[in-house]
Amino acid sequence: MSGTPSGPEPDHEPTAAARAELVRQIRADGHLGDPRWRAAFQEVPRHLFVPYYFVATPRGYQRLSGSDPDPERRERWLEGVYTDGALATYMRDGELVSTSSQPSLMAMMLEELHVEEAEEAKEAKEAKEAKEAKETGGQPPDTGCRVLEIGTGTGYNAALLSHRLGAGHVTTVDLDEEITGPARDRLAAAGHRPTVVTGDGARGCPERAPYDRIIATCALPAVPSAWIAQSAPGALILAPLATGLIALRVTDPEAVRAEGRFLPTPAYFVPLRTGPAPTAQPPRPEAPEQPGPPAESDGHQRSLRHHLPREALRDDRFQFLRALTANTLTPDEAHTLWRRQNRPHRERFGVTVHGACQYAWLDSPEGPHRWALPGS
């Protein structure tokens, strides 16, 4: 199902002023120091990629749209689009399938990709290859940092990447044509034509490999080995894992080896969906306004409240440790470790991938505290 975006045109006021105010908010949070990313957020119109979304009201969930005939609701829609918050954008059978992420979190993740490092390394390598090609009469190499995005969603993040790197260097994958079709149309309407692929994100996109950077906008139980195998040596993979963001440096794609630490910030995303897509249903307004941690059963919560102190249950650092070690530690074991290690922050944790083996660790990959991730 594909359609063209609705709402104001890219340069129609007050959207330009709204974009400028959003950039100001993001900069106030300490992001967008790079003028090239700042220009992307300033010039890419988010409203084209979020023609509607759902918000909670006392009477249930309301659909706000840029094509609503009511000017007051249109104004509310535009205000929400350019507020620094996540938006629920697509539902299926009561399940949240796709969102537009919080812009300041998007900015932080894009900055943490360090695409300028990849560009500098490629420029040096390609200058040498271009010289050799000229001497031998061959073709000069393609230039630029190649990025694979897992989770196309609305297409807004792919547009920001295309603005910064050029659409020819951006590949984005999502499971459903009901998502990729409209995203492709919106990207074209905004003047960007990256490669938009309908497929299983866990399998990457080998036809466009190798990649210098891979960024995922969906939560993972573990990092798919296909992503590492499709990376260039030295590539960076940034992905949500266990309510955090892991930044993995690929050391050996052929041997599927990568390692890295978590960033300090918390991050909650819709889980990665794999396999055949179910039959699409029209969007339904049951989505929460802000995606957050997955809910647990009442019985499980009562059990935790009985055994664990309230201090731990309210501490985001402990919730992260619980999510990271859920495959191997009981809540009581996780709490004991958390207290003994002085309530460690996310950046003390990391992940190592070596072939089929994948494990999380505290402080050092060679240290005593290591836990296998699901599927390892």
Strand partners, 240: 245
Residue 16: strand, helix, or coil: helix
Q: Which of 2, 65, 98, 101 is catalytic?
A: 101
Contact indicator for 299, 104 with CB cutoff of 8 Å: no
* Burial status of residue 342 (CB atoms within 10 A of its CB: 0-12, 13-18, 19 or more): exposed
The pairing of beta strand 87-92 with beta strand 170-174: unpaired
Cβ neighbours of residue 245 under 8 Å, at least 6 residues apart?
A: 109, 112, 238, 239, 262, 263, 265, 267
Question: Does the annotation count 101 as an active-site position?
Answer: yes
Cβ neighbours of residue 8 under 8 Å, at least 6 residues apart?
A: 15, 47, 66, 78
What is the SS3 assignment for 201-226? Answer: HHHCCHHHCCEEEEEECCEECCCCHH
Cβ neighbours of residue 356 under 8 Å, at least 6 residues apart?
A: 225, 256, 376
Contact indicator for 241, 143 with CB cutoff of 8 Å: no
| Kind and range of the H or E run holding 142 | none
Cis peptide before 233 (omega within 30 of 0): no
Phi, psi at residue 338, to the nearest 5°?
A: -60, -45
Cβ neighbours of residue 52 under 8 Å, at least 6 residues apart?
A: 6, 63, 64, 65, 66, 67, 77, 89
The pairing of beta strand 195-198 with beta strand 170-174: parallel
Which amino acids are annotated catalytic?
A: 101
